[in-house]
Each structure stands twice: as C-alpha cells, then as structure tokens.
Amino acid sequence: MSFTLAYPAMGPILEFMEANKRIHLTFRCPSLDAIDKSTPLRLDFLEFRTNCIQINKMSYQLNHCEQKYEENQSQKEDKSSREALAPGEIQIGGNKFSNFRKFVEFRIGNEFGDERVRRLPENLEIHMALKKLFGFLLGSRQAIKVSKEMVFDLEQEYILRLPENLKICVKTLNTKKTDFEEILPILDPSCLPLETLKLENAQPHNLQNSVFQTARNVEIIRDDVEWEEDESQVEKWHSEFQKLPNKNIFMDFRFYGQERIVDLIKFWMENGKEIGTCWNFRRRYWEKLNREVKRIKNEIGGTYGRGHSLILPLNDDSELMVVGAKLPENQLRVLQLLVQPKVDRSTCTHKIINQIYSYWLFYSFLTILALMCGSIVFCRIMGPNAIPLVVGLFTISFTFLWLSKLEGFF
C-alpha cells in the first residue's frame, strides 16, 4: 500500500531543500505556493549585482539587448503606425528609421557556465522585470536566512527594487562600496549583532553606527583614498577609529602605516583596551614586519617577547603584544595588535630573550667570530678533512641569517 505525502508535511522538506530547486519546484507546482511562502527560505549565499541576483550558485540576470529588425510582408505594406507622419509631426534627419529594436533578455546561469536565455515581451521595461523577478524570488516570505554571506556589489545611484517589507537574516554582510547603512532596513533585527561585516569606503559616520560597533568581526578593505587630501576628514576618521569597541578588526588600508599605528597604541595605553582585542593591519610581502616592530619599540619603548613580539603594558591586568604574523585562514601577512592578560616577565628567561632581540646584530657577530676561531682550530687538528664540514657549517649559518633577513625577522 503506497502512502502519499500530505501537503502540510511538505514544509520541513521545502525548508531544507536547496533554494533554487525549491523555487523551481514551487513554480512548477502552484499548489505548494502557500506552504513555500510560510516556510523559511534557507540560503548559503546571496548576492545582489547590477540587474542581477545570485542565489547560492545560480544567477538570475536581466540585460538590455538589441536585435536587427526584420519586417514581414504585412509590416512592409502597413507602416502607418511606425513611419507615416501625422499633421504637425516633423521627421529629423531624413527618411531613415532604425533597423534595430531593443528588448530585455533574461538569463539563468549555473556554476558550470550553462545558461538558459529567454526574451521578455517588448513592452516590459527592465526595471519592472527586476521588480517582478525579486518579488517572485524573495517576496512575501515568512523568513529568509543566509548562512554564509550576503553581498551587495552595486553601482552608485542604482535602484535596488526589492519587495516591500523584505527582511533577511544574515551572519556575514559584505556591502563592498555600498554604504552599509543603506542596507540596514532589510536586515532582520534577530541577526544583530552581525558575525562579520565587510565593507569598503567606511566613512567617519559609519564608524559611529551601532551595527558597525557591535559586529564581532569587521573587515575594512579600501584601495581608493578620495578624501585623503581633506586633512580634517582624515583626522576625524582616525579619531573615530581609535575609539571603536570592536574586538576583531582586519584593515587593508594603504595609508594606515606606522605613524598611525603608534598613535593608536598611545591611545590604547592612555585609555585602556579590553582583553581579547585583536586588530590586524595588512602588510605587503616586501614590508619587513619585525623592522616595523623595532621602529615602534624605538618610539614607544617596551620589551621583546617570544616570536619577535613587542610587549607594552596597558594597565595592571593587561598588556599589548605587537607582532608580525600570518592569518591562518588566508595566509595574509599582518601587523597584529593583541591585548592579552599581563604576564610576569621579570624572570631571567624573559630578560635574556629581550637582550637577544635587542642586540641581535652584536650577538650574531660574536657567533660568527666564534665559528671562525673554532674552525681554524678544528682545521689545524683535523687537517684537510675538516674543510667540507667547516664550509657546510658556514653555509648553513649564513643561509639562516639571509632567510631571516628576507622574512623581516631582523
């Protein structure tokens, strides 16, 4: 005896079905529409681009296109509506009409590069087609949840034609060059504070926004510096940035260099900072991280710790560690500022480490001198047989020093 699945039981199945398959199924089966709209739509990835929306690995795009116009016999015989002039009408440029007609093209593409193309009716404008498309995909839904990332990659002054009362729950919001505050009305309040906020062109007023300040992770990626010439704007930006309460920030800022880092450290030393704060400032491969750490030490002071780190006291309970590092998730080189519980560094071991890192050049010279003297004595005792061993030892020593210099350790 066979059993059919009742429509109410379809809710949990639709909820955890891949989003594009679910959309296709409910389009083919209109009787499921009510259940579909009342069941949360779960997405892995959602991106809005100019005239395009991408759901997971499927993109839905509308394009303006044009095609050469070919008249059939009846159109050639009856041109009254297209070419004939009524009283008072004026034709400019002679008796010449365009051979091309514009239309809107709808493309659905998948991750493998396969596309389905459909030409929309001639009287349907692209902005109306977008409104219908977004309404069909996202409109009138009880909830939309994006588990990984929602991206907005839009041109300036572009009108994003979203359905009314749309609310989306996200963990990671990436607004790129779009002002993230313009996107806030469509965020479901239940998803705040955000897990990760990624943005470009963060303006001073953005840094004061509570959504920005409460995000657990913030990534600021900004290549252009249009307002860098305005010194008052720059100073205002850095003043607001220093006061941010966020515990995890990644900065890919070209002009946030050593001088700004020193100002930031001094601000933290004067005002304190919460333990667990970790701010990372990206550095390019040619920049010597430990040289930068050494220059910071020359300006502010502090002591060296393990791993070529600089330790600066903040208060009785915490200290700041400044160190060159690589991020494990993407291997980017960063100058890292980490606030950690205070460690007793009055022991002999820590004093020796600080001495070695402070006077590494002197100790390297003594080591090489000792190797040379020892090699002379060794050669006198062993004779010619000692030469390969001595050459190998010196090669290893100089290679280590050279590689250390390349990595910026010294």
Provide the pLDDT for residue 378. 62
Provide the pLDDT for residue 1. 44
In this predicted structure, the answer to whether residue 90 has a pLDDT above a threshold of 90 is no
With beta carbons less than 8 A apart as the criterion, state whether 170 and 216 touch. no
Peptide bond into 193 cis (omega under 30): yes
C-alpha distances out from residue 199 to 139, 180, 215, 390, Å: 26, 7, 12, 56
In this predicted structure, the answer to whether residue 362 has a pLDDT above a threshold of 80 is no
Strand partners, 62: 106
With beta carbons less than 8 A apart as the criterion, state whether 296 and 322 touch. yes
**pLDDT tens-digit readout, 363-409:** 565 666 666 676 666 666 666 666 676 666 667 666 655 555 544 44
* Least confident piece of the model among 114-118, 140-144, 236-240, 378-382: 378-382
Quote the distance between the C-alpha of residue 120 and its chain's center: 35
Provide the pLDDT for residue 401. 58
- pLDDT-derived band at 288 (thresholds 50, 70, 90) equals confident
With beta carbons less than 8 A apart as the criterion, state whether 171 and 196 touch. yes
Report the residue count for the chain.
410
Provide the pLDDT for residue 254. 66
Question: How do the domains of the chain map onto residue ranges?
Answer: 257-358, 360-406
Distance, in Å, from the CA atom of 313 to the CA atom of 391, rounded to the nearest integer, reads 45
Distance, in Å, from the CA atom of 304 to the CA atom of 356, rounded to the nearest integer, reads 9
With beta carbons less than 8 A apart as the criterion, state whether 91 and 144 touch. no
**pLDDT tens-digit readout, 339-349:** 999 876 565 56
In this predicted structure, the answer to whether residue 243 has a pLDDT above a threshold of 80 is yes
Return the number of other C-beta atoms located less than 10 Å from residue 399's C-beta.
Answer: 10
**pLDDT tens-digit readout, 16-43:** 999 999 999 988 888 888 888 999 999 9
Q: What is the mean pLDDT of the chain?
A: 81
Give CA angle at 24 (33, 41), nearest 5°: 60
